[in-house]
Chain A
Amino acid sequence: MSDDLLFFTEVTLAGLGSGALLALTALSFVLIYKATRVINLAVGETLMLGGYLFLAFAAGMGLPVWAALPLAIAGGGVLGAIVERGLIRPMLGKSPISVFMVTVGLGSVLVGLVEMLWGTDPRTLPGFIANTPVFIGEAYVSRKIVVAFIAAALVIGVFLALFRFWRGGVALRATASDQAAAYSCGINVPGVFSIAWIIGCATAAGTGVLLGAIGGISPSMGIFGLSALVVVIVGGLDSILGALIGGLGLGLIQAWTGSYLGGEYQSVVTFGLLIVTLVIRPYGLFGTHEIERL
């Protein structure tokens, strides 16, 4: 294999790895949006909180990784439950913009809390993934990225199975497609709301641990949530397939622009893509086109 091709393969593999994490974060967006029609802009901050919870459990309390990871994920779930009951439920029926701004404010509160408890300096998570690289063919890939990719793929697979076969998953899909009809079929719609927020935030927290393991954690890592927002807009807000394809696609595009054009072009290309999508297909590649009536 020539050097150029090898480099391209390595960049592509790294892009797929970060794309998987983007897809996972986007999945958390989509889950919450599908069930409750809320765009949760605090998802980036939930991610960050997950990373810091892992740090607290693993480094602060000295728990082993297999205990700290579920605890961090559970912490994200608890946050989701509290936010849903305390902030989102009272906002039912208010304009989507107001609810959106509530999540923006929530993000600010989370950043402040983390800065107060852990300070503003970037931290590294205790290493639980070996540093030895993995070679796929001749291409070099960081083992962390491989682990993140596999974990993300597994979680996404589990989600797809849950939506298909689990009663709660079916209830969630029913609520997403028609709330009133779901109510009249005896589905506990408020319960579905809670479950969507709990699972969504828990997913985000788990993603945060993976992301933190690769690049370290800092209070400003919530910016990753904006990339995931681009993914869901491009893929379609209510489409799981869109989140997967959009996530992998954006990961690849970011890796390619970062390597071939330079890191400063990443945000332009990302957000340029977003604007182009909004102008051409406002509801995203796979989203539902909602028709407005008077």
Chain B
Amino acid sequence: MIIGTAKETYRADEALLTTRPQQVWMAVLLAGLAVLPFTFNAYWTYLACLVLINVIAATGLNVLTGFTGLVSLGHAAFMAIGAYTVAWLERDIGTPLLLNLLAGGLLAAGIGVIVGLPSLRVKGLYLAIATIAASFILHFVFVEWTAVTGGSAGISLQPGTVFGVALVDYTQLYWLIMPICVLMVTGAANLFRNRIGRAFIAIRDRDISAEVLGIPILRYKLMSFALASFYAGVAGGLWAYFFRVVTPESFPLLTSIFLLAAVIVGGMGTILGGVIGALFMTLVPELLRFGVELLGPVIPNAGLILSPVRTIVFGALIVGFLVFEPQGLTEIVQRIRRFFRLWPFRT
């Protein structure tokens, strides 16, 4: 049982991981991430890559929605910008992979600032709807600007190369995606230990009060948009290297809803929430597939109902979490932590 966490320095108090169990769990997590490709087969490595890409995008959206309180339903469009930038650079310019990813993220951030401009005038639901509108307009650009985006056929990529290694199979891609994901999530966690992150939280809690306290709201809102879009752009770039084809239909409105759902299900306004939300929402459809396969002998056309069942469960998860567990999975994790903290004295 932990009675308290005594700290002697401000440094220790501000640290990311304040208690011994936290440090142990983080070490376990990192070790797990390191050995994952050696223990899992190709299919699970593929899933792990997908989860990590979604974790990056969801963490970005969490910075925007969970921490700054600006709802975006156009996040998939920023992923698409990253993916298209990477694909275009890879096809026409041939710059190195890591530079492409950075360029994808930066361009997405730039567009994000433009899309965020209406947040000067509107907020809440209106902003969410403005971002939907922006994503439809971007979709139009992807379809019509054929010289760069390849129109509805999209762009196919050759496997990317990092330090002379071609990224062909999922294990190689994993070693690209995993470090970037860890880096970006750590970056997001550290953001909230300094001025910028605190300003975001102040804006979320009450933007008028934040302005009265001397926080330049517009600048920080746009900064939040830029950061979130940067994360999405990098995630989209990795997505492009992962699937090696980018079309306008790769990032539909449903992807934006998926990311927002991941943040909600995971828990808004906690870094852990974005991570476990993305993990959960990516894996549930796969678990459903196993479930439906198990039911195969019982129900005649089990394969046919898989897609509708996924759609229903997806919607039901959003509704269920909002109604019954609005703090998301993080709250459940906290409850488990509290239980073990007081165990065996209070159960």
Contacts and interface: CB of A to CB of B under 8 A. Distances in A.
B152 to A, nearest CB: 10
Interface range, A side? 35 or more
Given A112-B308, A116-B308, A264-B140, A101 B318 contact: yes
A5 interface: no
Given A100-B128, A274-B129, A112 B309 contact: yes
B261 interface: yes
Given A102-B323, A275-B134, A233 B126 contact: yes
Contacts of B125: 39, 96-97, 100
Interface in B276-328: 305, 307-319, 322-323, 326
Interface string A250-294: 000000000000001101101110110011001000000000101
Contacts of A96: 124-125
B264 interface: yes
Given A98-B326, A101-B260, A233-B126, A115 B315 contact: no
A274 B133 contact: yes
A115 B310 CA distance: 11
Contacts of A134: none
Interface residues of B, number: 45
Contact of A108 (B133, B144, B311): B311
B189 interface: no
A87 interface: yes
A226 B136 CA distance: 11
Contacts of B314: 105, 108, 112
A90 to B, nearest CB: 5
B157 interface: no
B125 to A, nearest CB: 5
Interface string A225-249: 0100110010000000000000000
B312 A87 contact: no
A106 interface: yes
Contacts of B260: 101
A106 B319 contact: yes
A169 B261 CA distance: 36
A82 interface: no
B121 A278 contact: yes
Interface in B96-153: 117-118, 121-122, 124-126, 128-130, 132-134, 136-137, 139-140, 143-144
A112 B310 contact: yes
A113 interface: yes
Contacts of B261: 101, 105
B319 A87 contact: yes
B335 to A, nearest CB: 20
Nearest to A294: B208
B71 interface: yes
Q: Which of B121, B125, B310 is packed against the most chain A CB atoms within 10 Å?
A: B125
B305 A104 contact: no
Contact of B129 (A107, A115, A233, A267): A233
Nearest to A115: B308
A91 interface: yes
Interface of B: 71, 117-118, 121-122, 124-126, 128-130, 132-134, 136-137, 139-140, 143-144, 206, 208-209, 212, 257, 260-261, 264, 305, 307-319, 322-323, 326
Top 6 A-B residue pairs of the complex, sorted by shortest distance between their CB atoms: A108-B315, A105-B318, A112-B311, A112-B312, A109-B315, A271-B133
